[in-house]
Structure 1
Amino acid sequence: MKTTYVFDRLLEATVNPVIRGVSSRGGTRSSKTWSMLQLLYLIAEQSEAPLLISCVTDTMPGVKRGMFRDFKRMLQDEGLWNGKAMNLTEMTYTFPNGSQIEFFGCENAAKVFGPARDILFVNEAQRVPKEVFRQMAVRTRLMLYVDFNPVKKFWAHDYFKGPGMVEIVSTYKDNPYLTPEQIEEIERNKADENWWRIFGLGETGGTEGLVYPEYDIVPEFPANCKWCLGLDFGFSGDPTAIVKVGFDKDDLYVQEIAYSTGLLNWDIANVLRKNGLHKVTTIADNQEAKSIAEISRLGCRIFPCIKGKGSIMAGISQVKQFKMHIVQGSRGIQDEADNYSYVFDKMTGLYDTNEAVDENNHAMDAIRYATEFLIAKYRPGKKQRKDEEKRN
């Protein structure tokens, strides 16, 4: 196999008997996931005793689009892929010695809270709630591995410190197999300081200028919320975002229902029906009156949001009064939250907190529409909080 510096560091940590966990963080195209899959394949193949190795990320679609696709391509490139060894129903790859590599998403509670394993690998760990990782970790007998792009600081930065832990940092320069065109494409982004810090240098991104710098990932949407749906229309270039939004006291919970381009009004209504949400109040962008009317005629309970002068910043202020919790698997929401920023003033070198950049805001707008509706309907103000404190 063609290996890189990252593989060498992973192997070095793995054969060290005092090491329990390895965190591999790095920029784009640094080979961190590819190297991890190479190592896991070799461990499974060469083990004298059968091993169960779990490769996990937040959702099964994420698994199939990401590391499983890499795993299959890696073995095909080496002439090692055995289609008969792969059970696509169970998503397990079985070796002649009885070892298995299984792939699953964290939405599979039976896997997360199920039987023990020997080795755990969590890909894109920033998308997985800390408690979900902890439940899997305590069921893992031997080694723990995670990898991630360091978009912002999260639980893995602290978990993989101290005795028995190793941190590996890598960049595209650690991958000698990139083409000159790939390197040029990466390096043309140097002017974007935060992007370059994360994806070019493999360093932890800053939160300066972000509209919503603080959030966490939670396993599920709580049952005791007052909630509705927010909808921001897209089509070809921009995604349509449908978000379930609810609050409980000072906590705001958001869950991605749909985040996709190319959705017609009929498709949107169908998404709501398939999820049993067509009778739930949906608050949509009022600039799309015709679309709202069409979706309403298709049997969905949908209403336009209320916008006025300065409504974007006013709505952002409404959202920011809560602590935001993003339900795992909501990739579009998380990616937007990590990139939705205020306008940068080059004259002053400061961010203008009175204006947000009109990018990375489709799910963010849907959240804003729904939050403003919920506040208007339920008014979680000081009087209500005092009443709740008395009742509690």
Structure 2
Amino acid sequence: MTTDRVKLPELRTLTWRDLDPAARPAFDPAAVADLVRVLPPAAEVPPAGTDWRLIDFWYDRMTEALVEHLGDWVVGWWYTVTIEHYQDRGVIPVWRAERPPVTTPDETLTRIADAVVAWHELLVELATDAGGRFAEAAPTAVDGTGEPPAWRAVQGSGRITIYTTPEDRRLPRPRLLSWADTDSPDRSFDPDTVRAVVDDLLAAFGLPSHGADWRLKDLWLANVSAGLVDRYGRWAVGWRWSVGEGDLDGGPVGSWCCFSHSVTTPEATATTISAALVEWRDWLDDLAERFDRFLPLPADDLDGWERAVAHLVTAVGDRTLYESGWYGCCMTVLGWFLEAAGIESIRRREELLEHAVAGRFDSWVEPPKAVVESVAEDLARRVAVDPA
């Protein structure tokens, strides 16, 4: 794949004049299947099981080719719309954006062709509301717009768009690690090995250009993380949990920020990633030492719990500089401490933290000492009442 960036018109910025099927009387739905198969990206259908980011990017390339041949209107080929009662929002227009699964090349291209035709047919329906599904919900027309009532209805008040984006299930977010995940007794960590491991990963995956599509950059970061996890254990995924508004927001790692700021030359980037991983490991080891100062800790030792919680909140704040989202790291560390203290139930740990901590801290704000003490007292009291 030589293309690393695609520019598409945005459906939400198109007017009815851009979409009106009356403006393309020569469009032949029966010819779409053949057209799809001769577009250049059709020769590069990703194999089934390819990472979702590469599939998504390939779909953008196909869409770009469709737009070039058919016009801007076709950019919406993977959208559908209904007027429905949605959750607690009442009756609103609900747009859904979902690309078909990639299986065999023939099946995949057929699904695209079918979706293009279905999108054209939806626009024809919006032009006439022949089925009576939309026009009744249309707001009052603005003189001179020329927009059909059904189109006004699906663009109306409360409109939402639901996107389907798979998650990378290979890798957990660092805040979702357990305390047990942070210790890998079967995989010793030697900081002196890190640079060679990172060099090998960068040689294997290369560096995307700064102008590359975000999905290609995100996949590169995921591949580097997966390589570090394979070598050192699940804990290594936290190397990107940067301080402030970086890749993952609100973390304790100062060596790494994000792709745009931290990726430069291969040599310098390898140095930065290596430093970030070592810094993350040092933070975990520092936490382990802090935990050991207080544990074991009986559930009814209120003073001990209060001291431990206040100490850890302050330690996290100092490390994260109380920057954007620092309280997420704080919740994670307190959850790890509860786990290390013997509270095994994930749900119970979440309940304890939700009641004692949630909403008490803010981004970019160091909490007053009284607030930290209050959080520590609340958590200690709840642990004492029901530690199970």
Short-chain TM bin: under 0.3
TM-score (norm 2): 0.24
Larger strand share, 1 or 2: 1
Structure with the larger helix share = 2
Which has the bigger relative contact order, CA under 8 A and spacing at least 6?
A: 1
Larger radius of gyration between Structure 1 and Structure 2: 2
